[in-house]
Structure 1
Amino acid sequence: MPIFVLKKKQMNWIILIIAGLFEVGFTSCLGKAKQATGTEMYLWYGAFGVCLTVSMILLMKATQTLPLGTAYAVWTGIGAVGTVLVGILVFKEPADFWRVFFIFTLIASIVGLKAVSSH
């Protein structure tokens, strides 16, 4: 018997986090497609479609045991924070004090929602 066994609800939190990361993937693909031309642009749009589909399927799976409102807020929060970070790191968007401050408040809100969730 394995030492570390995840319960179904714990596993769905992990699935939800992965779904949020795929949300970052599909938004990042949009940014890359905007910068590309020709065949490369269509490849980025294809990757967008794959990431979008995987993200939605994982979100649907996670909401089977997690509260819908909390799961959706965490999913969008991961996507929002991740997309802003990708924008700063990859697309060279500005990283001024207020932008970083509000990223941290968003992260605190996501952690808070998870902490107060009864699941």
Structure 2
Amino acid sequence: MAWSILVLSGVLEAVWATALGRSAGLSRLAPTVVFLLALVASMAGLAYAMRTLPIGTAYAVWVGIGAVLTATVSMTSGGETVSLAKILCLLAIVGGVVGLKLAH
């Protein structure tokens, strides 16, 4: 259960990071509300997962999922350039996250 909550929380990290970027410095209402709700839910899920998972593993997985998804959203929406190097680095993060799960 903790792993499922952690993965969902990592996805919500990408949601709040993307919403923060689109909020124009918290000046646009809708993205700001999405940012705040996703932030609270993401942190609550991370805190729940840390009850049973080691802090280092939980945090690294949470950040890894959020970082990969945020970068992917940015690249697919045209906000960031796509390159082979970026894709390979993102795949390395995914490999690290999977490795942490398998090592647990």
Task: List runs of 5+ in structure 2 lacking aligned partners.
Answer: none
1:94 aligned residue (81, 86, 96): 81
Structure 1 counterpart of 2:18: 28
Length, aligned pairs only: 104
Task: List runs of 5+ in structure 1 lacking aligned partners.
Answer: 1-10
Q: List structure 1 runs of 4+ shifted beyond 3 angstroms.
A: none
Counterparts of 1:1-119 in structure 2, within 5 Å, are 11-34=1-24, 41-117=28-104
Return closer, same or farther for 1:64/1:35 CA change in 2, 3 Å cut-off: closer
Return closer, same or farther for 1:35/1:61 CA change in 2, 3 Å cut-off: closer
The normalised TM-score by structure 1 is: 0.82
- Deviation at residue 35 of structure 1 after TM alignment: 9.2
What's the RMSD between the two structures over aligned residues? Answer: 1.6
AA in 1 matched with 2:7? I
AA in 1 matched with 2:42? S
Task: Write out per-residue CA displacement over residues 5-42 of structure 1, whole angstroms, 9 at most, x where no aligned residue.
Answer: xxxxxx11000000001000000101221399x6xx12
